[in-house]
């Protein structure tokens, strides 16, 4: 249920943010429309953040439950989703959408597990075995994330086998994403924000996830000892600086990765073009020799 509602909210949020960016960038839009779009965007972010927060709480209860049946059900649910995807007809375009959806799902799961680990560490930081709890949670979260990766690999393997899709379509998907990154970094878009264009391409809702991450971080910080406002302010400034540097570094790495893919694919296309040109030259040479022999 969470996944269905999340996809519906992502689709609605993309249109909402599109309208907001259009209202900001278009000079002919009235202030009344801008205010309306802004309020609708705030309401969307709040509703989607609440949905994601409930999802994290459910995952938190399953991970920390004394009964391992919930954890087993959580891991086995990854393999149950293969039933709804493996036996469907897929073409490369639908497979690209599924790959982007799995990519976003892995990132969200990694973020949720990291927040759960942080919250557990904050709750047991005052106890003697706080570090042991942190490592135990790391093992459980690693098991859940590994199950997700294995399930996705098996799912994609059977989808490509049953639909007779060449594995090279994943390279084409990477090339398409790389083209989006390089295109919107080098050329400013007329209406939409550059980062929103990429997030819209893969179906990623960054604002609600950021709100949930900030909220969980504040809850975890409240459990830490000596959490005075001076220490909270210092921690907040340090966290902001780390996140800012991480964003800059990830942006540079992503741009370099995208440029490398573009250069590699361009080299392959040029090599194929030269090979076709040589093939045409050989055919023309053989045809001219055959014409000369028949004339004799």
Locus of tokens 């391992």? 68
What confidence tens digit (pLDDT) does each residue in 223-262 have? 766 555 566 667 678 877 887 888 788 878 877 887 787 7
Q: What is the pLDDT of residue 66?
A: 67
Backbone CA torsion sign across 233, 239, 242, 244: negative
Which pTM does this prediction carry? 0.78
Report domain extents, the chain: 2-165+191-225, 228-296
3-state secondary structure string, the chain?
CHHHHHHHHHHHHHHHHHHHHHHHHCCCCCHHHHHHHHHHHHHHHHHHHHHHHHHHHHHHHHHHCCCHHHHHHHHHHHHHHHHHCCCCCCCHHHHHHHHHHHHHHHHHHHHHHHHHHHHHHHHCCCCCCHHHHHHHHHHHHHHHHHHHHHHHHHHHHHHHHHCCCCCHHHHHHHHHHHHHHHHHHHCCCCCCCHHHHHHHHHCCCHHHHHHHHHHHHHHHHHHCCCCCHHHHHHHHHHHHHHHHHHHHHHHHHHHHHHHHHHHHHHHHHHHHHHHHHHHHHHHHHHHHHHHHHHHC
What confidence tens digit (pLDDT) does each residue in 29-59 have? 667 778 888 899 899 999 999 999 988 888 8
Q: Which residues of the chain have pLDDT under 70?
A: 1, 26-30, 66-76, 78-80, 125-130, 184-196, 224-233, 235, 289-296
Q: What is the pLDDT of residue 44?
A: 92
Q: What is the pLDDT of residue 140?
A: 81
Q: 59: which 2 tokens? A: 């995952």
């Amino acid at each position: 249920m969470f996944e269905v509602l999340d996809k519906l909210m992502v689709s609605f949020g993309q249109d909402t943010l599109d309208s907001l960016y259009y209202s900001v960038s278009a000079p002919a839009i009235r202030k009344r429309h801008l205010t309306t779009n802004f309020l609708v965007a705030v309401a969307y972010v709040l509703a989607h953040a609440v949905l994601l927060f409930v999802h994290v709480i459910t995952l938190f209860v399953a991970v920390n439950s004394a009964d391992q049946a919930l954890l087993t059900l959580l891991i086995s649910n990854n393999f149950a989703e293969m039933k709804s995807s493996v036996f469907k007809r897929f073409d490369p375009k639908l497979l690209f959408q599924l790959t982007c959806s799995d990519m976003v799902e892995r990132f969200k799961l990694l973020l949720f597990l990291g927040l759960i680990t942080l919250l557990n560490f904050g709750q047991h930081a005052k106890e003697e075995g706080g570090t042991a709890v942190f490592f135990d949670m790391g093992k459980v979260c690693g098991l859940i994330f590994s199950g997700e990766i294995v399930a996705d690999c098996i799912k994609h393997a059977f989808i490509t086998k049953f639909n007779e899709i060449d594995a090279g379509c994943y390279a084409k998907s990477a090339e398409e994403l790389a083209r989006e990154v390089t295109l919107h970094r080098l050329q400013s878009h007329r209406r939409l924000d550059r980062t929103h264009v990429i997030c819209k391409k893969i179906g990623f809702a960054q604002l609600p996830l950021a709100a949930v991450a900030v909220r969980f971080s504040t809850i975890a910080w409240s459990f830490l000892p000596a959490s005075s406002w001076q220490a909270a302010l210092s921690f907040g400034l340090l966290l902001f600086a780390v996140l800012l540097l991480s964003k800059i570094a990830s942006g540079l790495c992503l741009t370099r990765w995208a440029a490398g893919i573009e250069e590699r694919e361009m080299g392959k296309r040029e090599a194929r073009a030269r090979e076709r040109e040589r093939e045409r030259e050989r055919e023309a040479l053989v045809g001219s020799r055959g014409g000369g022999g028949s004339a004799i």
